[in-house]
Amino acid sequence: MDRYLEGKTALVTGSVQGIGLAIAKELATLGARIAVHGLANAETLAEAEAVITDAGAPECRTFDADLRDIAAIEAMMGAIAEWRGPDILVNNAGIQQTVSFAEATVEIWDAIIAVNLSGAFHTMRQALPGMGGRGYGRVINIASVHGLVASVNKSPYVAAKFGLVGMSKVAALEYAAQGSRETGGVTVNCICPGWTETAIIEPQIVDRAGESGGDREAGIASLLSEKQPSLRTSDPAEIGMLAGWLCHPRAHNINGAAIPVDGAWTAQ
């Protein structure tokens, strides 16, 4: 295997499970050192580190910064800078709560915007100058189809994800001329998954399953039939593989993109 990320350091936020763990595992396979991030118990963190190390990471270190806390983000980024990085930043951490405008509270709005949007801004503003100076850098923001289209009862989440896509385009423009084809350049892109088998969609599966007498598979089928024409969920590993390709030096001109992985959801 071409370990084209050897010598690179990657921070993947929210990397103790789901899409984040799958991305961290893929980047480890490609040779990157991994800064694991997540708010989890010691056992869960240790399990994630073991998976990533077994995948081939030459070094693995865990950070537990609360992304609602700017000082904690700054401390984390400073510590990672001691590794000479991050060369790759994947903003994957996110929270979601389905709630109507009438039922939404200030607390729900503030929490979702803080983690899903502001947290990414604060990691990016500290990581991008170093990437520009080195001539290579990758920012991959895990947005969502809800950064491209809306759904009812998701106003805070949709607002955060649309904002993440827009902010990524601005950063791509600002850093597009940094580096070269030879160094790999600096790129900022979004991956926009549709229904993917992760914990974040589990509450919606449970709700739909309840409409079908508790049948989980029927709940998943109900979600898919409403939005995702392929009628198949994505596996987190598939998102990981796309992230890995975006980090390749040859992907230097894939920049400012918002790439849907949604079974043609946003093609409708």
Point out the residues that are catalytic. Answer: 157
CA atoms within 13 A on the CB side of 221: 7
Q: Are 143 and 190 in contact (CB under 8 A)?
A: yes
Pairing of strands 185-193, 136-142: parallel
CA proximity to 141, closest of 88, 99, 68: 88
Q: Are 5 and 88 in contact (CB under 8 A)?
A: yes
Q: Which residues contact 126 (CB under 8 A, 6 or more apart)?
A: 73, 74, 77
Q: Are 19 and 96 in contact (CB under 8 A)?
A: no
Number of Cβ atoms within 10 Å of the Cβ of 10: 31
| CA diameter of the chain | 58
